[in-house]
Amino acid sequence: MAAPAPSPAPSSDADVFIELRGIHKSFGKQEILSGIDLTLKHGETLCIIGPSGEGKTVTMKHIIGLIRPDSGDVFVGGMHVNKLKERQMAPIRQKVSMLFQGAALFDRMTVEENVAFPLIESGVRDKAEIKRRVLEALEAVDLAEHLGKYPTALSGGMRKRTGIARAIICRNECILYDEPNSGLDPIGSDIIDQMILRMQKRFGVTSIIVTHDMRSIFKIANRVAMLYRGKIHFLGTPDEIRASPDPIVQDFINGRSDVTC
């Protein structure tokens, strides 16, 4: 009888924080990811771009264990994410936080309660400390004056910024942002970009950003990955993507369609 295959091990490179190996994922008969390989080092900022429906958010949700791959392996901080049960995910989720596309704020809580929630759940009980950190997080997204409002009383952009404040408050090692700039005006968008840069420079936070905002990419990314037809079509620095001769890449970053009127 053949010996069982050895369990896959994470990369031996200590700098590698996130590793995706051969990720395949289908929903029903539709294959979304057909073999994604990606590595991310500590403190790196990676922007994921690509046409809508190509699996950018799905890729991101694999990293934090919200979705499990049909095949392939996900490693975060040396832990094999897709081998863990839901109740064993706590160490991963202490390292990684996420901003959702629609912010996913809790309707029954005020802005202050929403932002304080992850802090309280992580075990912080000192009320003064909670208040100070909530204010600090909200000031970073220019929302300190809206503490007592409920999500329904906020604009789309304000909800998104509250979601960002909630994602950064625990100072996790890695933050996943799903379209942080969508629905924001150019100034609001720049505030978020500056905040992401600050998080990287001051705290060495690793960031993955799904975005369609090309200006942001050239401002904040160390590397850019373009998803196309379920695979990583391009992976390189912002300068490399700008200089890429690939017509699919150029059409995407310059917003050109081949549809004629």
Count other Cβ atoms within 10 Å, centred on residue 136: 14
> Which tokens go with 254?
């310059």
> Which tokens go with 55?
């699996």
Give the contact letters, 110-149, x = binds to other proteins (CB under 8 A), - = no: -------xx--xx---------------------------
Contact window for other proteins (CB under 8 A) among 26-34, 84-92, 192-200, 218-226: 84-92
Cβ–Cβ < 8 Å for 8, 21: yes
- In this structure, the strands spanning 45-49 and 223-228 are parallel
Of 42-81, which residues contact other proteins (CB under 8 A)? 61, 64-66
Contact window for other proteins (CB under 8 A) among 86-94, 194-202, 218-226, 242-250: 86-94
Closer to other proteins by Cβ: residue 96 or 111: 96
Q: How far is the CB of 102 from other proteins (least distance, A)?
A: 6
Q: Strand pairing partners for 175?
A: 97, 207
Q: How far is the CB of 44 from other proteins (least distance, A)?
A: 21
Under the binding rule (CB under 8 A), the answer on residue 240 touching other proteins is no
Under the binding rule (CB under 8 A), the answer on residue 98 touching other proteins is yes
- Can you give the length of the chain in residues? 261
Under the binding rule (CB under 8 A), the answer on residue 155 touching other proteins is no
Q: How far is the CB of 66 from other proteins (least distance, A)?
A: 5
Query: Which pairs count as long-range contacts for 247-252, CB under 8 Å and 24+ apart, including other chains?
Result: 252/49, 252/50, 252/51, 252/226
Closer to other proteins by Cβ: residue 90 or 243: 90
Q: Of 16, 79, 84, 104, which lies in the binding site for other proteins, with binding defined by CB under 8 A?
A: 104
Q: Of 100, 177, 234, 252, which lies in the binding site for other proteins, with binding defined by CB under 8 A?
A: 100
Under the binding rule (CB under 8 A), the answer on residue 82 touching other proteins is no
Q: Of 84, 89, 124, 248, which lies in the binding site for other proteins, with binding defined by CB under 8 A?
A: 89
Residues engaged in binding other proteins (CB under 8 A): 61, 64-66, 86-87, 89-90, 93-94, 96-98, 100-102, 104-107, 117-118, 121-122
